[in-house]
Structure 1
Amino acid sequence: MRNAEAPDIQTDCFLHRRDRLTISIDNSNGSARHSLRHLRVLLPLALPGVIGALRIGTGMSIVAVIVGEMIVSVYGIGNWISRHRTTFDTPDVYAGIVVVLIFALVINYAMVRLGRLATRHRGAT
């Protein structure tokens, strides 16, 4: 399995674990399996799994970009880290790592806020 498939698999697994009672209540109220009304029930149930998959995918994409810059790029923070690593310039290597860490923390914070905003109808998490 490729790493790029992990968020998709997580979302799919979350959709299969949705609340069966809520779905059966929706079906008993006359909603068909593939109707828009059924989607209005299913989408909010799946939203936490989708947000979780986005957080995982975002982290994996940051790692992929940095590694890609280390290998083939002429510019970028990955190239900065790789260039200073080969010249044994340890302070600059750590400076690059700290920049990547701060960027990843900011992106993770944004994803957490997005998740709270998207699932605020479910109550406190």
Structure 2
Amino acid sequence: MSPHAVILYVILPSLAAGIAGYTWGGAILDPSRVQDYDRAVLRGLMVGAGTFMIFAALYACGLPMLEGQWSLGRAGSLFLLTLMLGILMGGPLAAGTGITAAVTLFRFGRHFFAESGNRVSETNIV
């Protein structure tokens, strides 16, 4: 596999997922912000959508830097193209992944936070 392909299709999506998960996904573990599965699923959908938006921006800026045929002047068009085609091809995958991660985190967070009065303690971590 080409190093450019690894950057565009492995590293950039992972980076986008990490940024979105850190920024918006941590609230799923907070019992005061997300009280039930419905809100966790909605939060997961939003994290998935945010991940996709971040990836589209990174891809639109990264492709012209890595491939000689593209210019940074086309980054706006690439962003829109990535959004339009990506929603059709990758949207269901991003939504499903966001929902699955949210439900898993919600359940995991309730397991640890319930025993300590909604606070993390070292006995719950070990």
Using the size of structure 2 for normalisation, the TM-score is 0.43
Higher relative contact order (CA 8 A, sep 6+): 2
Q: Whose Rg is larger?
A: 1
